[in-house]
Structure 1
Amino acid sequence: MEGGLATEELEIELLLEALFQRFGHDFRSYDRPTLRRKLHQVMQARALNTVSSLQDRVLHDPGAGAALLRALSVQPAALFDDPEQARQLRIVLAASLRASAVPKVWLAECAGPEQAWSLAILLAEEQLHLRTEIYATVANEEMLAAASLASFPAERMEQYQESYFRSGGTAQLADYFDVQDGRATLRASLRNRITWAQYNLVTDASFNEFQLIICQRALPDFGPMLRQRVMRLFHDSLSLFGVLGLDREIADGDELAASYQPVFPHQHWYKRIG
């Protein structure tokens, strides 16, 4: 490793240790190339030349620390921003939840309120919302606080309506929302089915049994050892014949591959069979 890269690698190690010690967020096992790219983007936006200067800013400026945690965390999703995934999810909900008296769904490393709201709307359209509990977990307090106050500009509704139609929706999306002062918020009857909590996939243990676990935006950021740790956590948290929705394939050589079978060909939805 060349001198400059070796120095930067040491700086990154020190920054990640500082984030863990100062804020309690452990990015030390994240995929290093992905992490480096995100750090460089933050440095460029703040006109900083070294990772050490970023560390100094983060440790002494609370706003800079919060901004870096946001940049390293899962980026927010828009309502129905992946119509094909939503189409598949409609099928998965019916197959995985109908047999349970009180089914539970875990949105692990949830990509913001609009991802959770999309799920709540799909549950309503499958007539499952009244008995299904959604647990949406995020890694830091700031994201948790933002979720409880979330809304979006009402003028986005037309754009979201088109994505909703492409996901298989047939209703008027606006019927699921209350609009006040130009801002739209999911109706309380659906919003109340979502429990938000701070949870760290890197360090925390299994906290419930779920019939469906969805983690479709975080895994690419994880290094190999952390991915295996998280996959074991999901296995311990998923009921037999429950469904796991990922953003990567479970490879044949993965430790738990034999415990799952694909729900769809060439897609990343898996039923636990062992």
Structure 2
Amino acid sequence: MAALMRSVTSTVKAARRHSPSSVEELELELLLEALYQCHGYDFRGYDHALVARKVQALRLRLGLATISALQSRVLHDDETYNTLLRALYVSPALMFDDPLEVSMLRLSLGVSLHGAALPRVWLADCASPQQAWTLAILLEQEQLAPRTEIYATVASDTMLADAQHASLPMARLDELQANYVRSGGVGKLVDYFDVDADGLHAALKPELASRITWAQYNLVTDASFNEFQMILGQRTLPDFGLALRKRVLQLFDDSLAPFGMLALDRPLDDHDPLSRHYKPIMAGQPWYKRVA
């Protein structure tokens, strides 16, 4: 009997003992919970595998042994907290880095914006200042810039400050000229920028920058804040888990004007009730016009 009890006890203890992967899962859950409880940013509904990869990459980059060590740093050091937030955020975009996206924008801008008196475009979880600059330049080329407002939202006040004061080294602007040409751009990209006196940095021309309204906004928790003629969400949606994705798609639906344009990362599910509100503007592309 004693031998049996020892065997049962040993089995129970073994069942309670976490494997290394289970420990890391628990650490990740605690890190995300701490980020939510202490700072209000909720990544718990994001794609779990993607979040885990980003957290582990940051842990290694910072030279930390465990996710728990990263959590301690996040809770007690603002710089580490902001570094984690940037790491978990949507991957940064470069100007004109996706020729297909630029082509779809050129096609969609006139269709969705020309009929509105004061059209608004929402860059939800804007991937970088350069994503907003790309849109501003395209609007200028379509002669829509003077009356169109771009709303570019980001997750934190730190990201907001970075975006509002962003500029480019001239060497990088020269490199981005190749992106511009590949996406169908004509002329020189530098024509849309002011170069500082020492010739080392460039900033978007004030008349274009003034059409971009930057704001801190949380897609996970905040409600609809305006009505838009176009919503661009294709960069951020891949990071979301199924439940959060459904929530954000409903938010976009609540925010899109009749006959407005919605850009997604993949086609709407035919079984999704929202799909009846939309019609694709081109076969095979997840860009939609609202029809109901």
TM range (shorter): over 0.9
Aligned to 1:58: 74
Task: Indicate how the Cα distance of structure 1 residues 54 and 255 shifts in structure 2: closer, same or farther if over 3 A, else same.
Answer: farther
TM-score (norm 1): 0.97
Query: Which residue of 8, 14, 29 maps to 2:30?
Result: 14
Query: Which residue of 242, 258, 270 maps to 1:224?
Result: 242
SS of alignment partner, residue 217 of structure 1: coil
Task: Give runs of aligned pairs for residues 76-87 of structure 1, distance below 5 A.
Answer: 76-87=92-103
Does 1:69 find its partner at 2:85? yes
* Cα separation, 2, equivalents of 1:157 and 1:207: 34
Listed as ranges, the gaps of 5+ residues in structure 2 are 1-14
Task: Give runs of aligned pairs for residues 2-151 of structure 1, distance below 5 A.
Answer: 3-151=19-167
Deviation beyond 6 Å, 4+ runs, structure 1: none
**1:163 CA displacement:** 1.3
Aligned to 2:222: 204
Task: Give runs of aligned pairs for residues 128-207 of structure 1, distance below 5 A.
Answer: 128-180=144-196, 181=198, 182-207=200-225
Letter in 2 for 1:30: Y
Residue by residue over 1:28-58, the C-alpha shift from the partner in whole angstroms, topping out at 9 and shown as x without a partner, is 1111000101011011112222211111111
* Cα separation, 2, equivalents of 1:103 and 1:221: 28
Identity %: 55
* Cα separation, 1, equivalents of 2:51 and 2:33: 14
In the alignment of these two chains, the number of paired residues is 274
Listed as ranges, the gaps of 5+ residues in structure 1 are none
Aligned to 1:257: 275
From the CA coordinates, give the structure whose radius of gyration is larger.
Answer: 2
TM-score (norm 2): 0.91
**1:103 CA displacement:** 0.4
Letter in 2 for 1:97: L
Letter in 2 for 1:46: L
SS of alignment partner, residue 232 of structure 2: strand
Residue by residue over 1:248-269, the C-alpha shift from the partner in whole angstroms, topping out at 9 and shown as x without a partner, is 2212122311111111111121
Does 1:246 find its partner at 2:268? no
* Cα separation, 1, equivalents of 2:182 and 2:144: 21
* Cα separation, 1, equivalents of 2:128 and 2:213: 13
**1:100 CA displacement:** 0.4
Letter in 2 for 1:163: N
SS of alignment partner, residue 242 of structure 1: strand
Aligned-residue Cα RMSD (Å) equals 1.3
- Answer with 80-89 or 194-203: which moved more: 80-89
Letter in 1 for 2:142: E
SS of alignment partner, residue 94 of structure 2: coil
* Cα separation, 2, equivalents of 1:13 and 1:40: 13
SS of alignment partner, residue 270 of structure 1: strand
- Answer with 45-54 or 62-71: which moved more: 45-54
**1:202 CA displacement:** 0.1
- Answer with 217-226 or 227-236: which moved more: 217-226
**1:3 CA displacement:** 2.5
**1:192 CA displacement:** 0.1
Aligned to 2:4: none
Letter in 2 for 1:89: L
**1:77 CA displacement:** 1.0
Letter in 1 for 2:150: I
SS of alignment partner, residue 195 of structure 1: strand
